[in-house]
Structure 1
Amino acid sequence: MKYNNGFKLAMLLVMAAFFVIPANIGLAQPEYAKWGQAAVNEVKSEYPDYELKDYSYDGKVVISDEREQFTFTMTLEKNGESQKVKAYVLTNPQTEEQIEVSLEEIE
């Protein structure tokens, strides 16, 4: 059976829809995901010999229209010893830019 070019194009578009549409469903990430990655990068930079074992998002504090702080707790491990670190990511929600990442060791 021969198909004309219009039919082939229509079938190609239908097949593409099955691959593209489901791939986009679920891609929406929580607001803090971008800043969590910034926190992880900073922790890995400051603690290069440690392995990241656990990560939690502790919440967001709105400081002003131009400043928000996202807080994360990370558990690191090195030679069987555990270290907890709080990461504070200060951002500008107007520009969606990172201002600063600071770390604090906790018990």
Structure 2
Amino acid sequence: MKKYLSMFMLVCLLAGGGSLAGAVQKPDYEKYGRIAIAVVKEDYPGEEVVDYQYGGRQKVTETDVTDTFTFTVKEDGKPVTVLVRVTHNLKDNKAVSLSVERKTQ
């Protein structure tokens, strides 16, 4: 009986661990989000980034996509919206281009 109980507990543990691994998986745009944050912090040194949103992905070619990130930065106490677009290749996972645009409010 102990043997079956131990096996049952092991199966439950393994089944639960598999679903946990799926929950921990990082989104595929995370690398480019870190790049976008670094660029915004470099362009606005000493200013506070108060909001960050992933705007989605657009397919550019068969292999290239553009991920869009929107930031709100407090510049001299006033909110400024900064749009960062990172175009990258899905096959080799390398950035192709990056653009930063300040949106007026």
TM tier relative to shorter chain:
0.7 to 0.9
Q: Counterpart of 1:57?
A: 54
Tell me the percent identity.
27
5 Å-filtered alignment, 1:54-93, equals 54-93=51-90
TM-score w.r.t. length of structure 1: 0.72
1:104 aligns with 2:69: no
Count how many residue pairs are aligned between Structure 1 and Structure 2: 90
Instruction: Give the letter for the 2:86 counterpart.
Output: V
Question: Match for 1:60: what amino acid?
Answer: R
Indicate the structure (1 or 2) with the bigger Cα radius of gyration.
Answer: 1
Q: Which runs of 5+ in 2 are unaligned?
A: 1-12
Q: What is the rounded CA distance, in whole Å, between the counterparts of 2:75 and 2:45 in structure 1?
A: 10
CA RMSD, aligned part only? 2.1
Once the 2 structures are TM-superposed, how far is the Cα of residue 25 of structure 1 from its aligned partner?
Answer: 5.8
TM-score calculated relative to the size of structure 2: 0.74
